[in-house]
Structure formats: structure tokens, C-alpha cells
A and B are shown apart, each in its own frame.
Chain A
Amino acid sequence: RKEVEQDPGPFNVPEGATVAFNCTYSNSASQSFFWYRQDCRKEPKLLMSVYSSGNEDGRFTAQLNRASQYISLLIRDSKLSDSATYLCVGNSGSARQLTFGSGTQLTVLP
């Protein structure tokens, strides 16, 4: 079983829709979590960190549920520019190295 698992999608949604991605992690010792965004043929870039208390950045909200070992990303009022692959990331292991999920592909349609 992969340490970080997420639904690969693809998610195809109309502009203005709200879309949610979930990600589960298996290592309860993981302490930090992130969502990264990756555009086609580009390198991943940090979208936001995920805190136990939840955090919001504009149209994006991230939540962490330690009891159920999952994290989520909610995108409200989707824009065409939100089309990308969203990667869930946790840190685990002796050096708390970064472990990536396989990514969820989002396409926002006009």
C-alpha cells in the first residue's frame, strides 16, 4: 500500500463549480502535509500547507483529519486556470522525507 493515496481522477468540472479532493495517508507518524500543484510538463509547486486547524487561502481550503488519517482540498468557484494536477504530500520516515501521492487531475471546462 502506498503511504499517500489519492483519487487519480480525472475530475472534469464546469467553471464556477466547487470541487473537493481527498487524500489518505498510512503513516500515523507523519507530521506535515502539503498540497502541491503541477501544470502539464512543469515542476510541482507548493499550493498550500495543511494544518490540523484547517487553513484557507482565497478560494482554496485545506483540512487535516488526524483521527481518520486523511487530508482534503476544497476549491470553490473554479477557474479555467485551476486546471492542473494536484499532489498530496506528507512527510514520514526516519528523516521525515517527503512522500507524494500519485496526483489528481483537474480540468475546469468553460
Chain B
Amino acid sequence: NAGVTQTPKFQVLKTGQSMTLQCAQDMNHNSMYWYRQDPGMGLRLIYYSASEGTTDKGEVPNGYNVSRLNKREFSLRLESAAPSQTSVYFCASHAGPSTEAFFGQGTRLTVV
């Protein structure tokens, strides 16, 4: 059982480059999330999708876009990467608000 799969695991970008982080879950979960984690800041919500076909901004959405392609997949796009977007990105999913959330292994992104 794969759970939540994120790709890539590591990435180095130059300022201004674009990229898409991929996330897929095989647990038939309704809700999916993208978080970023910086030292001492905990996990901050970038975007979430409560169900297929819906997406909403979280705490720190600027500089990012998302697509809920289908129930399984939720991608995060950086259109023009900036050094401030250097972080560890986690995708998560859960069946509903009162249930356990499962996380991918994270993407370590460095923007130079």
C-alpha cells in the first residue's frame, strides 16, 4: 500500500524557473493538502482541496498554484521560483476532518 507519494524528493531550481510538485494518494481520500515547513515555523498550509474539483488558499498561498487533477492527484506549481520558497514541502491527505492525515515523504526544494 503506497499511501501518499510525492515526487521529486529533492530539487534545486534557479530563481525564476518553474516546476510542479506531484502528489498522489491511493487511499480514496477526499481531502488533500500542501504544506511547507521551514525551521522553527512548523507546517504552514499553502493550499488545500476539500474534495475533488475544489481548491482553496491556506495561510501562505502567494507564489503557488494548485490543481486537483482527480481524486487521487493534487499538484503544486511554482511559476517563478524565488529563494524564499526554499523549504520542505509536504503533501497530505485524509478521508475527512476527524480522521488521521497521512503524509508523503516530502520534497526538499532549494532555490538559488
Contacts and interface: CB of A to CB of B under 8 A. Distances in A.
A34 B58 CA distance: 19
A43 B48 contact: no
A98 B100 contact: no
What range describes how many residues of B lie at the interface? 20 to 34
A99 B43 CA distance: 8
Contacts of B82: none
Interface string A59-94: 000000000000000000000000000010101001
What range describes how many residues of A lie at the interface? 20 to 34
Interface stretch (B12-20, B34-42, B60-68, B69-77): B34-42
A46 B43 CA distance: 14
A95 B31 contact: yes
Given A43-B90, A44-B103, A96-B97, A102 B40 contact: yes
B104 A97 contact: no
A46 B101 CA distance: 7
A100 B97 CA distance: 13
Contact of B98 (A45, A46, A87, A91): A91
Nearest to B97: A96
A31 interface: yes
B79 interface: no
B99 to A, nearest CB: 8
Given A32-B97, A43-B90, A43-B106, A95 B43 contact: no
Interface of B: 31, 33, 35, 40-45, 48, 50, 56, 58, 90, 92, 94, 97-98, 100-101, 103-106
Given A46-B101, A98-B97, 10 more contacts: A31-B97, A31-B98, A34-B101, A96-B97, A97-B31, A97-B33, A98-B33, A98-B101, A99-B45, A102-B40
11 contacts: A43-B104, A43-B105, A91-B97, A91-B98, A94-B56, A97-B58, A98-B97, A99-B45, A100-B43, A102-B42, A103-B42
Interface of A: 8, 31-32, 34, 42-46, 49, 87, 89, 91, 94-103
